[in-house]
Structure formats: C-alpha cells, structure tokens
Amino acid sequence: MYRTHTCGELRLQHKGQPVTLAGWVQRIRNLGGMTFIDLRDRYGITQLTVNDDSPSGVKETAAMLGREFVLQTTGTVLERSNKNPKITTGDIEIGVTGITVLNVANTPPFTIEDESDGGEELRARYRYLDLRRNPLQKAIHLRHRMAQEVRKYLDSQRFLEIETPFLIKSTPEGARDFVVPSRMNPGEFYALPQSPQTFKQLLMVAGYDRYFQIVRCFRDEDLRADRQPEFTQIDCEMAFVEREDILQTFEGLARHLFKSVLGIEWVADFPRISYADAMNNYGSDKPDIRFDMRINDLTDAVKGKNFILFDSAEYIGGICIKGCADYTRKQLDELTEWVKRPQIGAKGLVYIRWTADGIKSSIDKFYTTDELSVIAAKCRATQGDLILLLSGDKKKTLEMIGSLRIEMGNRLGLRPNNVYAPLWVYDFPLLEWDDETQRFYAMHHPFTSPKPEDLPKFYSANRHDITQVNANAYDFVLNGVEIGGGSIRIHDSGVQRRMFEVLGFSEEEANYKFGFIINAFRYGAPPHGGIAFGFDRWCALFGGQETIRDYIAFPKNNTGRDVMLDAPSKIDEEQMKELYLKSVKSEA
C-alpha cells in the first residue's frame, strides 16, 4: 500500500502521528520560505507544508511539482495555525519529511475545479480528467450508493437479481434495435435489448416470482436532449400481485432510497393521481407537485360574453400566480411571447390582475368587474394575484397551460432541487386511435392489462367505448419527471386474443410478432406485473440535477458519439469481410 491514510481522513486527533499519503497535486502556493501543497484524492484534500527546515530533498522536489502530479509523501500530522473550516481536514496539515513523485503530469487542458474553465466538448474529450472534478466525483459516488441501496432493499424483499441476455433477437417492429452481426452465423444478427421486458415476463412464467435487475438498455434513435443510446434501468417484475402490491412495494423502495441516500424520512403515503386528474389539474401526465398552481376550468364561466376567442374555444383554463399582480406590461408581453413560441404554440395570453386598485384584465372590454371576480374566485385568487388564461382545443390547451405553469414555477423559484415531491400517476388510457392508419396502438405494449372494471368496454364493438378503457398501468413521477412506469400484464389468453383483435392483428400476425411469448404463456402463466425505473435520471434527480450526463461515467454526446474514444468508427475491410458485410453508400 502506498499510503497509511487517505487525504480525507486526518483530524486533530491524529496530531503528532507519522503518516504516508498519496494523491494528486491540486494546488501549490509558494510563499517564499513556505510551500503549501494541497494533495487530493477521492476522499478529500490534505495540506502538505514544506518550509525552510524541511529536508533539502523535499524542498527540491517541492520546487519542481506541477498541478496533477501524483505524489507519495511522508510526514507528521501538525495542528494548523490557520484552520480552514471549509474542508474536513482543515484543522491539520502535514509537516513533510519525504516526497516521492509517483508520476508527472502534463498541464491539464482545463482546470480541475468545481467550476472548470473547460468547455463541454473539451471536457468530454478528456473525460478521465473531468471525472476528477468534485461535482462528478459526488455524482458517481451517489450513483454507487443508489445502486447498493436499491439491491439491499429488493434483496430484503426476496427479489432475485437475474441477468438477462444482451444478445437477443430483433423484434419485427424493432426499428430502434441496435443489431449485432454474428460471425459464427453468417448473414444473421443479434439485437441489443431495448428492455428485458420479454425476459422478465418469461421469468414470471418460470416461477421466479420477484425479479429485478439494474440493467443496460439500448435504443438506436435520434437523441433528444439528454437521451443516451445506452441507458440503465432498474427493471422489476412480480407474480401473484395486483396493482396495489406493486405500488406498495416500490413506494417502499423509494422510501428506502430517500432515507438511505438523502437522509429524508418520508412519513406520509405518496400522493396518487389519475391520468385524467393530472391532465385537468396540471396539464401534464407527470405533474410537478412541489408547487400548487393548479389549472382551473373556466370554460363555463367565461363563455357567452361575446368574446369570440373564448366563445369559439373548446376549453378555457387559467392558473393563479400568487403575488404577481404587479407584473408590468413589459413582463406580461414577454410572457405572451413565451407562450407563442413554436414549442408552446399558443395564439395569445389573457391576463387578469387583482391589485389594490381592483381587478384589471386584458379582456376588460368583454367582462365586467363582477364577471372577472367570478373568474378570480374560481381560480382561488386573492388580492395581489395574477391570473393567466389560455384557450383552444382542450388537450392541447391543458398541455400549454401545463408548460406555462412549469415556467412560472421556475421563474418564481418554486422548484428548488432539494425539495422532493414523489407522485404516482395511474389509469392511463390503454389504447390510442390513430386516424392516419385507422387503427389502435397500445400506449405501452400489447401485454398491458386493461383495468378489470373496464373489461366490458374493452369487449365493446364501439370504438368510442374502447377509447375509454384504462390500462392497469402506473407511472412514478418525481418533481415533474417520470422516472418509473409499469403495468399489470395480461395473463389471460382470452384477454390477450381480444387485445390482438383490437390492435388489428390477425392470429398469424400476432404469432409472427409475439409467437414465442404467446407460446410460453400457454404453459401456466401466473398473474404478474412490474415496473422499470430510469436509473440514470433517478440518480440525477437525487443529485439535484435534471440532466443525466454527469451521472454516467462515460456518456455519449447527443449524436451518440463517445468523443473520448472516438466511437463509433470505421472498421477494417478484413473485419467486414469476416462478418459477410459490405457498407453501402448513404442515399442522402
């Protein structure tokens, strides 16, 4: 061992002790007769002191050190005269008696500090140096802790961690599958799994009852901001359970993580909300309930006053922004521009301000003060509040107000990243009708069970009835981010047949697409259901971030490249030949 202690370990109680440390040079301060060297490792920073009385070899070595040199040093723990309360080792320093340079270092291309001077691209290229920075060390450490605690909890609940294969079969609808040519089976390909969905259901058929895995998944698709072609899921499945059992079990997991990782004890049950209520109240299927600011349906209250914009709208909704009645015209214009951006797509913004001077609005022409008061009351506004209204097609308008709500939450600091609001969302629609192809699509996947009470509608010949069927599905939402989702699966072959019928698959087609799991289900499938959590994102949220890249040791950029490795890349002709493959020119 090159050290007796780490750089984060020594305290006043070690005073006088001879120690050996090893680490990287964080900083060197040369004050004439004294040289202070901050030595860094994963555990902290310890100050080394070299002065006129130090051995001459030590002084010589200290004089030629540079940032990020790797040192081994021996010395004695001394009490500092100038204590530094900002670091845990701030009460002591090491009076150096020996220094060995274990390795020299080129000057790093950016500073290894909490706030680096390096751009994103540069830091990505030297990821191994970026990973030395404290925020990333913290992120990677948090992720480690999360993973250990996830397993500890699930193991204690008798879940078995079972590894499923990465080299699987491409599904007929696997447009997003990464494929892997097989040298031993010329012309044939494996696929990398988008999730272990099939395997976990097979494990339930096999009797494994409670399965989990922290597992890499792959998706070859255009990367929206903050998506990765490979990402990690906490993947879980249980047999002989109903929805309530799954929610209880994984609320338990979340509670355990809150407590063990963040030290937050969660006493109350997590709130639950139906998809319909989430849309109506928050304009989102993943509401951030750290702040209230609910959407109020004003449709009935505002119609019939000859304001054509409202009279012609399917829906009018409003949110009350507490204490913002003093917004200036300029601020309101800017908000109007904000909602009119293509990402939101509103035509305009109506406002009502309730100041000490009374209620004023941008629609005073059409509404009396009394009528505005009614609207304000419906929005639970009081004096000092601002009300913002949008109108149009119901679903779209709700989503627009939902986005505006989040924006106002951000502007007003109502979304602090150290406050947590978990939430279950349930009763999602099972199917979505697509006008273009004139068929239903499964919102999740074709093995998602309808809610038992909706089965009559599911068997109805009426398309509208079928639209009304809810899935026995649920999402776990944290601070407005969906970090988990799952469902009770169909285990009844009659219901499964009906599902394929509704989706417009012939028996032949269903067998072609899903034959192998349908076959497995013929040998005694238990009732089962599960959930999968986005592990990268959960870690990021617990770390107080919304972006996941810092929580992945070696992430890819948003064109799917690893710029450190320079991957993907061309491969040898020789290798192509061995795989019986030829590249063809892009048609673009």
Q: Residues 524 to 543: which contact a second copy by CB under 8 A?
A: 524-527
**Candidate list 88, 98, 110, 178; residue touching a second copy; CB under 8 A:** 178
DSSP β-ladder status, 34-41 and 18-31: antiparallel
Q: Which two tokens stand for residue 100?
A: 């060995």
209 is a contact residue toward a second copy (CB under 8 A): yes
56 vs 103, which CB is nearer to a second copy?
Answer: 103
59 is a contact residue toward a second copy (CB under 8 A): no
**Candidate list 11, 15, 29, 42; residue touching a second copy; CB under 8 A:** 42
Letters for 557-576 (x = contact with a second copy by CB under 8 A, - = none) are: --xxxx-xxxxxxxxx--x-
CA distance 250 to 533: 10
**Candidate list 202, 321, 335, 430; residue touching a second copy; CB under 8 A:** 202
CA distance 533 to 531: 7
**Candidate list 87, 122, 162, 414; residue touching a second copy; CB under 8 A:** 162
Task: Give the dihedral sign, CA 176/345/390/300.
Answer: negative
Query: At closest approach, how far in Å is the CB of 54 from a second copy?
Result: 23
| CB of 113 closer than 8 Å to CB of 68 | no
**Candidate list 113, 220, 297, 371; residue touching a second copy; CB under 8 A:** 220
| Binding to a second copy, residues 363-422 (CB under 8 A) | none
Which class for 357: exposed (0-12), middle (13-18), buried (19 or more C-beta within 10 A)? exposed
506: number of Cβ within 10 Å: 10
What residues pair up with 233 in beta bridges, in sequence order? 215, 534
259 vs 380, which CB is nearer to a second copy?
Answer: 259
Q: Which two tokens stand for residue 40?
A: 């860094």
| Binding to a second copy, residues 120-139 (CB under 8 A) | 126-129, 131-132, 137
Query: At closest approach, how far in Å is the CB of 342 from a second copy?
Result: 24
| CB of 73 closer than 8 Å to CB of 20 | yes
144 is a contact residue toward a second copy (CB under 8 A): yes
250: number of Cβ within 10 Å: 25
CA distance 197 to 531: 10
Q: Which of 86, 96, 99, 81 is nearest to 12 (CA)?
A: 81
Query: At closest approach, how far in Å is the CB of 98 from a second copy?
Result: 16
Query: At closest approach, how far in Å is the CB of 73 from a second copy?
Result: 12
189 is a contact residue toward a second copy (CB under 8 A): yes
94: number of Cβ within 10 Å: 27
DSSP E strands: which ranges in 335-383?
Answer: 350-355, 358-361
Letters for 8-37 (x = contact with a second copy by CB under 8 A, - = none) are: --------------xxx-------------
145 vs 290, which CB is nearer to a second copy?
Answer: 145
348 vs 568, which CB is nearer to a second copy?
Answer: 568
87 vs 131, which CB is nearer to a second copy?
Answer: 131
| CB of 535 closer than 8 Å to CB of 478 | no
**Candidate list 41, 91, 235, 237; residue touching a second copy; CB under 8 A:** 41
111 is a contact residue toward a second copy (CB under 8 A): no
Q: Which of 23, 17, 6 is nearest to 76 (CA)?
A: 17
29 vs 183, which CB is nearer to a second copy?
Answer: 183
224 is a contact residue toward a second copy (CB under 8 A): no
87 is a contact residue toward a second copy (CB under 8 A): no
Which class for 426: exposed (0-12), middle (13-18), buried (19 or more C-beta within 10 A)? buried
Scanning 47-55, 264-272, 501-509, 522-530 for contacts with a second copy by CB under 8 A, the matching segment is 522-530
